[in-house]
Amino acid sequence: MNKVLIGVLATLAVGAASVATVAATGIVAVGADTPHHPVVHDLLAFARERAIARQSAGITAPADLDNPERIRRGAGNYAAMCVDCHLAPALADSEIRRGLYPTPPNLAAGLADSGARRNAARDFWIIKHGIKASAMPAWAKGGMDDEAIWDLAAFVQTLPGLSKTAYDQLVAASDGHVHGGMEGHADHHEAPPPPKPAAAPAAGHRHDGHDHATHKH
Ligand code: HEC
């Protein structure tokens, strides 16, 4: 073995031992209320985007992604499964979203470089596979088939342009929470959820069993 190789291996071993030592001390900030160091944050974001770009490269969106039927079906599933984390028109924030890290992107707000269209293949991949160690679930593992995932990708493209009224109408016109891929769950169907209030309910007693002092906003 030449000296360079021995040097490289020794450096790697010292590096791995240092990481293990830091982990063993228990000082790593694992709480969701402590953000990553900016360097760690940027490194994770870089790795995430590289991985998604590579692994979604072979995915082509169906030609009928703009079909209103897809968008209608996607609306019902979005309102049932996504809205608490990803919000809706006129829904400023939610209790679960405030506590999550990373914060789920507000999919009703559109892209930062507004006017740009979302990358449907990227959205499909993320909805299907989820994102490890974030709260984003792998919906295919949960039991959703590809067609229902494309319906959601279609809906998510449309969402930033919707008013609250248009959103509520689409959800009401949808079939609710219903999608293929749930073997043994032929009756996996729930009526559309009622519209969310635009603002969080006022502090005080509620009658849905969910009752605790609200936070200052
Ligand atoms: C429990 C919270 C939670 C739920 C429920 C959830 N997501 Fe997410 N989602 C996240 C988080 C957190 C991220 C960001 C992950 C990251 O940045 O690493 C994310 C990311 C995404 C992204 C990528 C957004 C972007 O611009 O980078 C899409 C698209 C998405 N989710 C769609 C959905 C859809 C559709 C549903 C419902 C079927 C859903 N999510 C349900 C938490 C959630």
Q: How far is the CA of 131 from the centre of ligand 1 (A)?
A: 8
Nearest CA to ligand 1 atom 25: 105
**What are the tens digits of pLDDT across the range 101-136?**
999 999 999 765 566 788 999 999 999 999 999 999
Q: How far is the CA of 164 from the centre of ligand 1 (A)?
A: 20
- Pull the structure tokens for residue 159: 């969402």
Whether the predicted pLDDT of 200 surpasses 60: no
Q: Are 70 and 174 in contact (CB under 8 A)?
A: no
Which is the closest atom of ligand 1 to the Cα of 102?
12
Ligand 1 pocket mutation pick from 52, 126, 128, 178 by most atoms within 8 angstroms of CB: 126
Q: How far is the CA of 106 from the centre of ligand 1 (A)?
A: 9
Cα–Cα distance, 67 to 62 (Å, whole number): 10
- Mean pLDDT for 179-194 is 66
Question: Where residue 183 falls among pLDDT bands split at 50, 70, 90?
Answer: low
**Amino acid 111: pLDDT:** 65
**Amino acid 6: pLDDT:** 94
Which is the closest atom of ligand 1 to the Cα of 118?
26
Of 69 and 176, the structure prediction assigns the larger pLDDT to 69
- Mean pLDDT for 77-104 is 95
Nearest CA to ligand 1 atom 10: 136
Question: Where residue 164 falls among pLDDT bands split at 50, 70, 90?
Answer: very high
Question: Where residue 206 falls among pLDDT bands split at 50, 70, 90?
Answer: low
Q: Are 135 and 100 in contact (CB under 8 A)?
A: yes
Question: Where residue 177 falls among pLDDT bands split at 50, 70, 90?
Answer: confident
The ligand 1 site (C-beta within 6 Å) comprises: 48, 78, 81-82, 85-86, 100, 102, 104-105, 123, 126-127, 131, 134-136, 139, 152, 156
**What are the tens digits of pLDDT across the range 27-83?**
999 999 999 999 999 999 999 999 999 999 999 999 999 999 999 999 999 999 999
**Amino acid 212: pLDDT:** 75
Cα–Cα distance, 180 to 20 (Å, whole number): 44
**What are the tens digits of pLDDT across the range 136-160?**
999 999 999 999 999 999 999 999 9
Q: Find, among 127, 142, 124, the residue nearest to 183 by Cα.
A: 142
